[in-house]
C-alpha cells in the first residue's frame, strides 16, 4: 500500500472537525464505502458516512478527534482514537447537557485505490451515555 500513514491519521481525525476542509471526506472514502458498524439511521456509502459526521458535529460542535495509534498491515489500517466535545445538541436522543464528554474507539479500515473501501469500528457508547447522565 502506497499511503502516507501519518497523513492518513491526520486526515482521519480532521474529517470529524467542524472546520474540516471541504471535500476531505470525498478524498478519504470511496463513494460506495461499506460501513460494517452502521449508526442508527445511517444510510449507505459515502453519504451515510457524511450523515454520521454531521450528526456528531451537531451534537458536539467543538468535537475534536485525535488518533492515538495508527497501524497498517497489507490493505488494512487500524486506528485507535479518542474524541472530546461539549454536548450541545439533542440529536442522539439525549437533551443537551452542556457537559464535556469523551468517547474512545478503534476503527479498522480496508484501503482500496488509496481510499477507505470498508470500515469496522467499535466505540464505547455506554461510557459516553453515562457521562451525559443518560444511563
CATH of the domain at 44: 3.10.450.50
Q: Tell me the average pLDDT of the chain.
A: 94
What is the Cβ-side half-sphere exposure of residue 72, based on CA atoms within 13 angstroms?
A: 14
Going by the DSSP 8-state scheme, the letter that residue 68 receives in this structure is E
Positions in the chain whose pLDDT score sits under 50 = none
The reported pLDDT for the residue numbered 24 is 96
CA distances from 22 to 52, 59, 98 (A): 16, 20, 28
**Structural domain range at position 76:** 5-131
Indicate the pTM of the whole model. 0.92
- Domains contained in the chain, number: 1
H or E element at residue 12? helix 5-14
Amino acid at each position: 500500500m502506497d499511503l502516507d500513514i501519518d497523513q492518513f491519521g491526520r486526515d482521519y481525525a480532521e474529517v470529524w472537525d467542524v472546520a474540516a476542509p471541504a471535500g476531505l471526506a470525498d478524498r478519504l472514502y470511496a463513494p460506495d464505502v461499506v460501513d460494517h458498524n452502521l449508526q442508527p439511521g445511517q444510510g449507505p456509502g459515502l453519504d451515510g458516512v457524511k450523515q454520521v459526521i454531521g450528526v456528531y458535529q451537531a451534537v458536539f460542535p467543538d468535537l475534536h478527534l485525535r488518533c492515538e495509534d495508527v497501524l497498517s498491515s497489507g490493505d488494512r489500517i487500524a486506528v485507535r482514537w479518542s474524541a472530546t466535545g461539549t454536548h450541545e445538541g439533542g440529536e442522539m436522543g439525549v437533551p443537551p447537557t452542556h457537559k464535556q464528554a469523551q468517547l474512545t474507539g478503534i476503527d479498522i479500515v480496508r484501503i482500496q485505490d488509496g481510499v477507505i473501501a470498508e470500515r469496522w469500528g467499535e466505540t464505547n457508547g455506554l461510557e459516553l451515555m453515562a457521562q451525559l447522565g443518560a444511563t
